[in-house]
């Protein structure tokens, strides 16, 4: 018997029931559907033109920029939420956007896909285009080594030879996918250094993926990204078709860059700060123009979208602006520090470290983050407040980094922490891990009516 229709109905009913009970955002509807029909996603995705965004960092932001172009041009599309990027969530999203007979209600889908789940998902989705942002070491206890992540993505992509691949040329791991797959491939990258003062980091990919010799770099943008080449076997950064050719300006809220594609240069305003978002922007620009959007449509998406969940939000309830940015792994955290310590002006930093499952239960990654760079801020750094379940471990890390006692304070109580943030006369930058961010946001919404914008 054809099980697709019962599976779709079960999925829709479960979703509706959960919604009536006031409980959204669980994996249950997708689980129910896949139990009844394990290949439901392939069936539902058959007639939808899909863009997949995967990689370790920047998926959500890149997906939101891509989505913005679909919104601005009035296309019939749907997208998954960042919390629903495994096969259950994606299946439920496709079921919600199809009739009970499995006919799609939208022409397009923009799908963020967990990099560890790419293997199972891409095979069924058969996307038209896949954007791979980068590959970094993530929370060790969830994903294992980068080689494993790379292999997962490669196997996933090998099931979709018709998809155009947009690959980060500056990531030696990501770029290596091109030689192993028959797909049409377009590289993007950043041709120039991004930061004046850069955090020196432990590279996640110091050795050649082909012959294990140490890479040489013409320049590094951040972490292992940049102009690498292997002196022994000649593997090197491919010349990107779409490049960031100049960094024109960077502020706490935005960047202006020059993007050059096929010989034509465009000035792009990105409504997000930081070098990592410059990569997200050029990756999304490449995906959009390859998917058929005009350069001007893609540029207007870069400047016109709202901050994605957890990425550099700004709050105005205090005496000074308060900005919050999620940190989840050493590479991401180093980028945030790169960006924040390169800003002009005084700052108070707040670091909230939790070790719940969603944060990664192993917090040893904080020892791979170069907090020493904070010292380079000199007089501009006014205070570092530390909070969260593992506040004491975080404080210890900062003491080892050389942050003086007088600058450092542990505040266990979130209400007290929020008071301190609100009464600061210096701009505040909050760096929470995932569940700490959810906690802070909930308290802010109770206290100041900040809306639950992820709903």
Picking from 115, 43, 111, the residue whose alpha carbon sits closest to that of residue 77 is 111
In the set 233, 248, 319, 399, which binds Zn ion (CB under 5 A)? Answer: 233
Shortest Cβ 135–Zn ion spacing (Å):
17
In the set 179, 211, 248, 399, which binds Zn ion (CB under 5 A)? Answer: 211
In the set 142, 154, 210, 229, which binds Zn ion (CB under 5 A)? Answer: 210
Shortest Cβ 289–Zn ion spacing (Å):
32
Work out the angle at residue 119's Cα, subtended by the Cα atoms of residues 42 and 368, and round it to the nearest 5 degrees: 145
Shortest Cβ 177–Zn ion spacing (Å):
16
Q: Assign 184 to helix, strand or coil.
A: coil
* Distance from the first to the final alpha carbon of the chain: 37
Binding piece for Zn ion, criterion CB under 5 A, among 57-65, 215-223, 228-236, 302-310 = 228-236
Binding piece for Zn ion, criterion CB under 5 A, among 223-231, 240-248, 294-302, 435-443 = 223-231
Picking from 84, 96, 166, 95, the residue whose alpha carbon sits closest to that of residue 127 is 166
d(CA 90, CA 12): 13
Shortest Cβ 215–Zn ion spacing (Å):
8
230 touches Zn ion (CB under 5 A): yes
Binding piece for Zn ion, criterion CB under 5 A, among 34-42, 232-240, 323-331, 408-416 = 232-240
* Segment 324 to 353, residues that bind Zn ion, using CB under 5 A: none
Q: What is the 3-state secondary structure (H, E, C) of 352-367?
A: ECCCCHHHCCCHHHHH
Residues 139, 115, 227, 370: what is their CA dihedral angle, to the nearest 10 degrees?
-20
Q: How far is CA 406 from CA 149, 380, 385, 386, 431, in A?
A: 42, 14, 11, 13, 20
Shortest Cβ 230–Zn ion spacing (Å):
3
Shortest Cβ 210–Zn ion spacing (Å):
5
Shortest Cβ 237–Zn ion spacing (Å):
13
Picking from 120, 156, 153, the residue whose alpha carbon sits closest to that of residue 138 is 153
In the set 70, 143, 228, 235, which binds Zn ion (CB under 5 A)? Answer: 235
Shortest Cβ 209–Zn ion spacing (Å):
8
Binding piece for Zn ion, criterion CB under 5 A, among 7-15, 203-211, 285-293, 411-419 = 203-211
Give whichever of 57 and 174 is closer to Zn ion, judged by the CB atom: 174
What's the order of all strands across the beta sheet hosting 322-324? 313-315, 322-324, 428-432, 347-352, 381-387, 408-410
Q: Assign 130 to helix, strand or coil.
A: strand
175 touches Zn ion (CB under 5 A): no
In the set 52, 65, 208, 389, which binds Zn ion (CB under 5 A)? Answer: 208
Site size toward Zn ion (CB under 5 A) is 8
Give whichever of 144 and 234 is closer to Zn ion, judged by the CB atom: 234
Q: Please list, residue by residue across 315-340, b when 16 or more beta carbons sit within 10 angstroms of its beta carbon and e when fewer do.
A: beebebbbbbbbbbbbbbbbbbbbbb
Give whichever of 235 and 339 is closer to Zn ion, judged by the CB atom: 235
Binding piece for Zn ion, criterion CB under 5 A, among 128-136, 167-175, 230-238, 277-285 = 230-238
**Cα dihedral across residues 159, 165, 171, 175: positive or negative:** positive
Give whichever of 213 and 254 is closer to Zn ion, judged by the CB atom: 213
Residues that bind Zn ion (CB under 5 A): 208, 210-211, 213, 230, 232-233, 235
């Amino acid at each position: 018997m054809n099980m697709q229709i019962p599976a779709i109905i079960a999925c829709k009913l479960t979703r509706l029931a959960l919604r009536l009970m006031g409980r959204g955002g669980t994996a249950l509807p997708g689980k129910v559907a896949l139990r009844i029909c394990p290949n439901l996603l392939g069936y539902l995705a058959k007639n939808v033109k899909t863009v997949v965004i995967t990689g370790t960092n920047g998926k959500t932001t890149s997906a939101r920029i891509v989505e913005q172009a679909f919104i601005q041009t009035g296309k019939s599309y749907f997208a998954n939420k960042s919390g629903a990027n495994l096969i259950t969530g994606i299946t439920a999203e496709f079921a919600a956007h199809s009739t009970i007979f499995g006919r799609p209600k939208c022409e397009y889908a923009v799908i963020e896909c967990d990099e560890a789940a790419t293997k199972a998902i891409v095979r069924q989705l058969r996307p038209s285009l896949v954007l791979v942002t980068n590959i970094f070491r993530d929370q060790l206890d969830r994903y294992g080594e980068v080689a494993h992540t790379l292999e997962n993505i490669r196997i996933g992509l090998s099931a979709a030879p018709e998809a155009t691949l947009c690959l980060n040329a500056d990531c030696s791991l990501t770029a290596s996918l091109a030689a192993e797959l028959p797909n049409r491939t377009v590289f993007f990258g950043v041709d120039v250094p991004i930061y004046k003062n850069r955090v020196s980091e432990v590279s996640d990919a110091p050795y050649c993926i082909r012959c294990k010799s140490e890479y040489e770099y013409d320049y590094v943008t951040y972490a292992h990204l940049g102009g690498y080449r292997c002196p022994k076997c000649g593997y090197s950064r491919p010349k990107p078709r779409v490049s960031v050719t100049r960094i024109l300006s960077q502020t706490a809220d935005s960047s202006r860059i020059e993007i050059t594609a096929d010989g034509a240069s465009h000035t792009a305003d990105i409504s997000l700060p930081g070098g990592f978002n410059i990569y997200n922007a050029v990756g999304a620009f490449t995906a959009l123009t390859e998917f058929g959007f005009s350069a001007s449509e893609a540029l207007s998406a870069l400047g016109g979208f709202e901050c994605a969940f957890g990425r550099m939000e700004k709050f105005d309830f205090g005496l000074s602006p308060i900005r919050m940015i999620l940190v989840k792994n050493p590479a991401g955290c180093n980028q945030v520090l790169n960006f924040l310590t390169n800003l002009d002006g005084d700052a108070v930093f707040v670091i909230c470290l939790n070790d719940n499952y969603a944060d990664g239960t192993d917090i040893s990654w904080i020892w791979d983050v170069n907090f020493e760079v904070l010292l380079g801020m000199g007089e501009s750094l006014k205070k570092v407040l530390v909070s969260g379940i593992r506040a004491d471990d975080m404080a210890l890390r900062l003491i080892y980094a050389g942050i003086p006692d007088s600058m450092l304070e542990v505040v266990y109580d979130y209400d007290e922490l929020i008071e301190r943030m609100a009464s600061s006369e210096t701009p505040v930058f909050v760096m929470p891990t995932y569940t700490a961010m959810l906690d802070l946001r909930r308290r802010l919404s109770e206290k100041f009516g900040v809306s639950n914008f992820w709903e």
